[in-house]
Amino acid sequence: GDGGTTGSITGDVATSTGTTLAFDHSDPYAFGGVISGAGALSQIGTGTLSLTGDSSAFTGASDVAAGTLEVDGKLGGTLTVDSGATLSGIGTVGTTTLANGAILAPGNSATPVGTLNVNGNLTFAPGSTYQVQIPPGSTTSSLVNVSGTANLAGSVVHLGENGNYAGSSIYTILTANQLNGSFDSVSSNLAFLTPSLVYDAHDVMLRLQMKENFADAAATHNQRAVANALQSLPAGSDLYNRILNLPNGAPPSAFNALSGESHASTASVLQGVTDNVIKLPMDHLRSKLDASETASPEAEQPVWVQVFGNSRTLGGNSNSAKVEESDGGVFVGADRLIDNGWRVGGALGYTDSNSTVSDRSSKFAIDSYSATVYGGKAFDAGPGKINLTAGAAYTWSDIDSRRDVNAAGLDQTLKSTSGASTSQVFSELGYALPLNNHATIEPFVGAAFSDQRLRGFSESGGSTALDGESKTNDATTTTLGLHAKTALTALQLQGHLYGTVGLRHAFGDVTPETTMAFEGSQPFTVAGAPIARNAAVTEVGADVAVSKNTTVGVSYNGQFGAGYQQNAGNINVNWRF
């Protein structure tokens, strides 16, 4: 070859003293002929040279200057492996020396874990490397069998990805008629197993011993929780062994994938969904408390229908992943005036919600059915009016969850169904002050309490499935802000523009938690994406009377807090009968 991919030899090659047979390929090249004589053999190409013939009669010197020499047949004489070059194969070589920076890696592409025989002595120079592989579930490893003396130095590197090792395992990696010295170091790419070397008169053995708890490789609270649960699984179980054999750097992402964190985040999504159960009826009630100030005539028994859509982002944090949610639905309600100026009403609603937790390969869909009762009254107070509103609501939610677990060599799709109920009470107190005949501002303070009860669940679909306990979350929100509205007078329209700005504060169970367990493990608790403790609230909208008995409107409202964002669009229709 000429350093590229061209050139070949057919048949056998006889060498003589003073001559050199050189192989210079950049790609894999196999030579099956017999090499004989007392000349020199040199592998100088950057590719892999595979020798498969019986060249045991060769008495010259071989040198691996670059690339890889793979001996799968027999090669006599002496052999030197230079810095940066590799000797591999499952055949037999003569007396061999590995220079500083050289690599010995028994096995080939067909038999990655194999035995290389040395008919003579084997010398490892300081700085050389012996790469050892152990197949999953095997009691044997890569092996070098030396008929003479093995002079030891350099390092042993265990390549154990996708292995299946117990908490304490031992493998013979080198055997010789005589051992001289010892290796300088040993290392492994496994996260939880520490390698060490054991010597006797003729053998070198690699021992893998569990070095730390699973939780020692975790970086977050959720990761530590699931790691401790995995540690509690019976030693030798499939899932336990898969975690035990994870390579360096892999445990944190595996713990995240196995945590079931999305089940906890469901509670925060439900909190956002049920916010609408309060907001939509209360918006209608507030607009009716002082019908005389609206540009459109108000009937005593208005029936209203509102179609809405929302998108929310729960930003997550260093412990939990971001959740992206969208929902839509419809509410139908009616209210009327009763004695002493009080207005009371009720509403029924349906919400279809879909959420994605991309960083945890999780999705969940929620169908919610709501019933709300509400009432309020406007009290004369100086130049303005005090508006008092209050209500209660109940929502039932059906939850379907899916998680795709692709970690620790597993590829499983886990599914579960569960339910949740949410009970709410709420109230708002405001002072509506007219600025002129068309515009009003209303400072207000509001409060709402939510009691959320999530049922337990059982996932199906594989060994990583989780059973979750039931959970209750209680949260209270207070809002301080300003409503404003003005009548539409342009183009002879009957309707009004309105807006709201405010600050909302939440306390209680703002960071949801769920307790779960693998089959056979101790329970563990993880936290989901929290709702914002403090958020800015905004709204802007307009409605217009399109006929004597029908009003239509559109609105936008948003909530923006630390890591939390909600954007909502609403279309509402009021019919009066």
**Residue 290 or residue 238, greater confidence:** 238
Residue 211, amino acid: K
Q: Is the pLDDT of residue 31 over 50?
A: yes
> What is the percent of the chain with per-residue pLDDT over 90, rounded to a whole number?
74
For residue 550, the model assigns a pLDDT of: 82
For residue 136, the model assigns a pLDDT of: 65
For residue 296, the model assigns a pLDDT of: 42
Question: What CATH number should be reported for the domain whose range is 254-576?
Answer: 2.40.128.130
For residue 374, the model assigns a pLDDT of: 97
Q: pLDDT band at 2, cuts 50/70/90? A: low
> What is the percent of the chain with per-residue pLDDT over 70, rounded to a whole number?
95
Q: pLDDT band at 3, cuts 50/70/90? A: low
Q: How far apart are CA 218 and CA 199, in angstroms?
A: 34
Beta-carbon contacts of residue 110 (< 8 Å; ≥ 6 apart): none
CA angle (110, 89, 204) in 5-degree steps? 115
Q: pLDDT band at 10, cuts 50/70/90? A: confident
Q: How far apart are CA 387 and CA 373, in angstroms?
A: 17
pLDDT per residue as tens digits for the range 395-417: 999 999 999 999 999 999 999 99
Q: Is the pLDDT of residue 61 over 50?
A: yes
* 315 C-beta neighbours (distance < 10 Å), count: 16
pLDDT per residue as tens digits for the range 280-300: 899 889 888 865 444 344 445
The answer to whether residues 365 and 293 touch, using CB atoms and an 8 Å cutoff, is no
Both structure tokens of 470: 């039931």
Q: pLDDT band at 302, cuts 50/70/90? A: confident
The strand pair at 410-434 and 384-407 is best described as antiparallel
Q: pLDDT band at 351, cuts 50/70/90? A: very high
What predicted TM-score, i.e. pTM, was given to this entire model?
Answer: 0.82
Q: Is the pLDDT of residue 491 over 70?
A: no
The answer to whether residues 337 and 330 touch, using CB atoms and an 8 Å cutoff, is no
- Give all strands of the β-sheet with 155-159 in edge-to-edge order: 29-31, 48-51, 68-71, 86-89, 103-106, 129-133, 155-159, 185-188
Where exactly are the structural domains of the chain? Answer: 13-210, 254-576
Q: Is the pLDDT of residue 88 over 70?
A: yes
For residue 572, the model assigns a pLDDT of: 79
Q: State the alpha helices, DSSP H only, in 159-250.
A: 221-231, 238-244
Both structure tokens of 74: 């027999």
**Residue 552 or residue 365, greater confidence:** 365
pLDDT per residue as tens digits for the range 110-136: 888 899 999 999 999 999 999 998 876
pLDDT per residue as tens digits for the range 162-216: 566 777 789 999 999 999 999 999 998 889 988 999 999 999 999 988 887 999 9
Q: How far apart are CA 187 and CA 157, in angstroms?
A: 5
> Could you tell me which of 551, 518, 550 has the C-alpha nearest to residue 242?
518
- For 54-68, 177-191, 293-307, 472-486, which range has the lowest pLDDT when averaged over its residues? 293-307
Q: Which among 160-164, 366-370, 436-440 has the top mean pLDDT?
A: 366-370
Q: What is the mean pLDDT of the chain?
A: 92
**Residue 531 or residue 413, greater confidence:** 413
Q: What is the mean pLDDT of residues 152-165?
A: 80
- For 88-102, 117-131, 331-345, which range has the lowest pLDDT when averaged over its residues? 331-345
Q: What is the mean pLDDT of residues 346-374?
A: 97
Q: How many CA atoms lie within 13 A of 533 on its CB side?
A: 4
> What phi and psi, each to the nearest 5 degrees, are found at residue 126?
-55, 135
